[in-house]
Amino acid sequence: MMRIYELETLAPEEILNRDIRAEAEVDAAVDAILEDVRLHGDGALRRYTRELDGAELGSLQVSGAELDAAWAALDADFRATLELAAENIRRFHAQQVHRDFCLTDRPGIIMGQRYTPIEKVGVCVPSSPTAFPSTILMNVIPAKIAGVEEIVLVTPPERDGSISPAALAAARIAGADRIFKLGGAQAVAALAYGTESVPRVDKIVGPGGIYVATAKRKVFGRVAIDMVAGPSEILVLADGGCRPDFVAADLLSQAEHDVFSSAVLVTDSLPLAQAVQREVEVQLERLPRREIARRSVEENGKILLTRSLDAAVDAANRIAPEHLELCVEDPFALLPRIRNAGSIFLGRSAPEALGDYFAGPNHTLPTSGTARFSSPLGVDDFIKRSSFLYYSQDVLAEAAPRIAEFAQREGLEGHARSVLIRCESETKEM
């Protein structure tokens, strides 16, 4: 049963226990996998796929024929759902596209900024129990909008070597260029180092379990990564007017992900807290993944009782959750006060699942309190900024003494000379 705590009685470290560091044995195992794939390429990938996924693979890459068969096998109604969700995601992320700028307001000076897409991106898609079509849409579509030249998708196969038709259909709709039957740390290694079949990419994005998260952290620097994600989280901030069954359902929607997931209710209403506590027990019995969800709510779930909604908002900002639901009478009044959250769901008709699958905002979100300084996945994750600068000779000559003095005060005579020599050359020519 979820426990009820009075927030004011808890020390900060007791409010929510999160630690995304890998256990020592996981750390060592990932080191071994990375090195094995780096040295032995496709051979190592086939071996890990056989040992860890139970699949004996010929080709590691999904063929065009497999894509066509998956498309034909998927029922038309769900294809339509995928296409509508994809359109919603495109519509939202298209607003994130930046525009180059150029400043020419001073004679002899041109400077500006331009955006260029990352050339190759790898997308990791977990499977639990099957590859997530929603994750494919959420990760591939922003990369496509950004203009990434090659998007390589990796997801673990079933024991028969197949990928679910829904996942492959989502990959086609989103615009993935190549799909490989790979998962875990070995997939991250393949994307980071490249193998005979798998191209090396410039950035790796997408969620995964502790092995994927640890591998991403270890290859960072060789390639870029989006984030090191921890277990899924939801915080429901609710007032006494909420229906307990709604709140309980929303908490369990995240608890069923993983035993390490955290579901937290923050409320100023003791009657609601007690009703939700009871309702969670009722709804747990209806869930196919009830054993996972029960461990999650009992080990990591909390109901935090506060003196006021103001205190509840303060608690939400301290926790900085991945998903934050503002289930209150006037969510828009509280929205300006929310500083730290991955994605915010407003009102009593916006369950977290709405964002997971359909509405448009991205569901790859910062976890483990990192919403204090990081953001949801978006188009920005797939682009780079470059500045550019032009000075005419006359304008450089005018500024040269000040630039040289600046450099000399920092003890960098070579910097100073690189400017002054251009002015000396101009004088000599005259």
- Over residues 86-115, the pLDDT tens digits come to 999 999 999 999 999 999 999 999 999 999
Beta strands 383-391 and 109-117, pairing class: antiparallel
Residue 242: the pLDDT is 96
Is residue 375 domain-resident? no
Fill in the DSSP letter of residue 307.
S
152, 177 contact by CB (below 8 A): yes
Could you give the CA distance from residue 333 to residue 239 in angstroms, rounded to a whole number?
Answer: 13
Is residue 377 domain-resident? no
Q: Are residues 65 and 195 in the same domain?
A: yes
Of 320, 345, 360, the residue at which a domain comes to its end is 360
Is residue 183 domain-resident? yes
Is residue 349 domain-resident? yes
Write out the residue range of the structural domain in which residue 238 sits. 4-20+231-360
Is residue 376 domain-resident? no
Q: Are residues 50 and 130 in the same domain?
A: yes
Q: Are residues 320 and 194 in the same domain?
A: no
- Nearest to 215, CA basis, from 32, 30, 23: 30
Is residue 296 domain-resident? yes
Instruction: Return the H-helix or E-strand segment holding 175.
Output: none
pLDDT above 70 covers a percentage of the chain that reads 96
Of 191, 209, 225, the residue at which a domain comes to its end is 225
Q: Are residues 141 and 166 in the same domain?
A: yes
Of these residues, 322, 325, 352, 363, which one is catalytic?
Answer: 322
Handedness of CA 95, 220, 324, 184 (dihedral sign): positive
Residue 265: the pLDDT is 98
Could you give the CA distance from residue 62 to residue 222 in angstroms, rounded to a whole number?
Answer: 26
- The residue type of 303 is I
Q: How wide is the angle at C-alpha 281 spanned by C-alphas 277 and 282, nearest 5°?
A: 115
Across 38-52, average pLDDT: 97
Backbone phi, psi, residue 86, to 5°: -60, -40
Could you give the CA distance from residue 378 to residue 59 in angstroms, rounded to a whole number?
Answer: 32
Q: Are residues 210 and 252 in the same domain?
A: no
- 3-class SS of residue 348: coil
Fill in the DSSP letter of residue 9.
G
For residue 430, what pLDDT band results from cuts at 50, 70 and 90? very low
Q: Are residues 163 and 196 in the same domain?
A: yes
Could you give the CA distance from residue 174 to residue 189 in angstroms, rounded to a whole number?
Answer: 24
Could you give the CA distance from residue 244 to residue 278 in angstroms, rounded to a whole number?
Answer: 9
Beta strands 262-267 and 224-225, pairing class: unpaired
Q: Are residues 172 and 291 in the same domain?
A: no
Of these residues, 279, 323, 325, 363, which one is catalytic?
Answer: 323
Q: How many residues does the chain have?
A: 430
Fill in the DSSP letter of residue 131.
B
Residue 360, CA distances (Å) to 83, 91, 97, 141, 239 in order:
12, 7, 15, 11, 27
Largest CA distance in the chain: 90
Q: Are residues 265 and 347 in the same domain?
A: yes
Is residue 87 domain-resident? yes
Could you give the CA distance from residue 375 to residue 229 in angstroms, rounded to a whole number?
Answer: 12
Q: Are residues 186 and 286 in the same domain?
A: no
- Over residues 276-318, the pLDDT tens digits come to 999 999 999 999 999 999 999 999 999 999 999 999 999 999 9
The residues, ordered by sequence, that sit 6+ positions from 347 with a Cβ below 8 Å of its Cβ are 326, 327, 328, 331
The domain total for the chain is: 3
- Over residues 12-23, the pLDDT tens digits come to 767 776 655 557
Across 130-134, average pLDDT: 85
- Over residues 228-287, the pLDDT tens digits come to 888 899 999 999 999 999 999 999 999 999 899 999 999 999 999 999 999 999 999 999
Could you give the CA distance from residue 397 to residue 403 in angstroms, rounded to a whole number?
Answer: 10
Of 189, 204, 225, the residue at which a domain comes to its end is 225
**Annotated catalytic residue 323:** yes
